[in-house]
Amino acid sequence: MKPRKKQHRNPRPVLVILLIWLVPVAVWGTAIVADVLIQRKANLPVQPETVVAGSRTIDARLGVRGVATFKSEMNLRLEGQGTITRFDLVVGTPVEPGTKAMEVDGVPRMAYSGETPFFRDLHVGDVGKDVLTLTEFLRDLGFLSGEEPGSLFSQAASVALSTFQSEVNLTPDGVLRKEEFIYIPRDFGEVVSVQVSPGDPVPADGVFATGSGQVSALRIVDSAGEKPPKGFPVPGELRLSAGPEELLISSLSISGDEAVEVTKKLRSWAAEELIEVGMDDDSQIFEGLQISLAVPFDVASVPSTAIMAGLGGETCVIQNDEGSGPEAVPVTVQQIAGELGVVGIDPSLAGTQVLRDARSATPKGVTCR
């Protein structure tokens, strides 16, 4: 008898069966583990979004306009009779001493200012406050030099007057005839209306023009309306500018002598066509100005949403540096002129991490005090 060969079973069917059973089990197990991890991650608190506070130097430059208001209107009057044959005054401009305001029957009428108006004709040897007005007038125009203006109508003053008369086509005899001059009060301001034109007779009451009066206040407002420019007031003196010209003002709203002097300067800028000027009801409007800080300053910059308000009006940011945890840090908020959605805070906080949205993402227990 032949010996039987030892039979070997094929392991493949067993492996296939094992694989068929094990693969679903492995997939099921992996799914369970992944689901557990997802659940754990879902249960973790969401980390709020943070931003790093920036750093910048600002001068808060912004386009604005000036609005000058006045105390009261005042009239200019003309003496004598006759027909107005030329008229030189222009609405919206001042009347400068030494310039021709008009002609009556072909004779110039010259503008002048002073403490005391001319109330008589003046000759050499006359004494009085009106003589002082004349000598100051001649000195300011450069016709009288070598002596201080005084209350005595001297021979030198008469010669100076004669020279002036010759230049403006008046009779050059060194005698002042008061009807040839028109008194302009120092606080007359700008011409806002005129009541005559060439060909008209001299009005019975003498009134031929109305002035705005002395400036009582000057306000700096945004270029689009009547509100203060966004981002102001800011600390420090302010710089008002137009083209290459600039001047300093103490605040966005000035009055008194400062308002008078600044308005005078703005009118000179308008005369140089650096800015535009016009009248609006009882106000004079200066368009095309820029306002900025005289001395720039540093701030840390953050989104406006990063500011948290306390119950007592306090303002904070939520600092969130690694290792220390969330903390409410009191800050002084500075609006940045001309920018939306960004504010300035204390410059020492530049480079620190703060919550982007302090109002909705502030952790419980963190308050602004």
Question: Does the predicted TM-score (pTM) go above 0.75?
Answer: no
| Model confidence at 108: pLDDT above 90 | yes
Is residue 93 over pLDDT 60?
yes
Q: Kindly report which listed range (139-148, 228-237, 285-294) carries the lowest average pLDDT score.
A: 228-237
pLDDT, residue 36, reads 45
Distance (Å, rounded) from C-alpha 338 to C-alpha 231?
Answer: 7
- The whole-number pLDDT of residue 46 equals 47
Parts of the chain belonging to CATH 2.40.420.20: 50-58+297-361
Domain 50-58+297-361 annotated CATH 2.40.420.20? yes
Of all residues in the chain, the percent with pLDDT exceeding 70 is 84
Q: Out of 67-71, 120-124, 147-151, 215-219, give the one with best mean pLDDT.
A: 120-124
**Which of 67-71, 217-221, 334-338 is least confident?**
334-338
- Judge contact between 245 and 269, C-beta under 8 A: yes
Q: Which pLDDT belongs to residue 21?
A: 53
Chain region(s) in the chain for CATH 1.10.101.10: 74-211
Report the Cα–Cα distance between both ends of the chain, in Å, rounded. 107
Q: Give the residues across from 280 on adjacent strands.
A: 283
What is the arithmetic mean of pLDDT over 28-43? 49
- In which band, very low, low, confident or very high, does the pLDDT at 38 lie, cut at 50, 70 and 90? very low
Amino acid in position 217: A
Average pLDDT over residues 131-153: 92
- C-alpha neighbours within 13 Å on the C-beta side of residue 234: 29
* CA nearest to 354, candidates 368, 340, 369: 368
- All residues at 6 or more sequence positions from 205 whose CB lies less than 8 Å from its CB, including other chains: 77
What's the mean pLDDT in 21-28?
A: 53
How far is Cα 208 from Cα 324, in angstroms, rounded to an integer?
78
User: By mean pLDDT, which of 20-29, 58-67, 117-126, 247-256 is the weakest?
Assistant: 20-29
Considering the four listed CATH numbers 1.10.150.120, 1.10.101.10, 3.40.630.30, 2.60.120.10, the one that applies to the domain covering 74-211 is 1.10.101.10
Q: What's the pLDDT score for residue 292?
A: 86
Residue 279 has pLDDT above 90, yes or no: no
Phi and psi torsions of 225, nearest 5° = -165, -145
Dihedral, CA atoms, 233, 238, 240, 243, nearest 10 degrees? Answer: -110
Q: What's residue 47's pLDDT? A: 55
Pairing, β 107-112 against β 181-183 = parallel
Q: What is the mean pLDDT of the chain?
A: 85
The SS3 assignment for 68 reads strand
> pLDDT tens digit string along 155-199?
999 999 999 999 999 999 999 999 999 999 988 888 989 999 999
What secondary structure does DSSP assign to 53-65, as a single string?
-EEEEE---EEEE
Per-residue pLDDT, 94: 87
Whether the per-residue pLDDT at 16 is higher than 80: the answer is: no
**What does the pLDDT read at residue 132?**
96
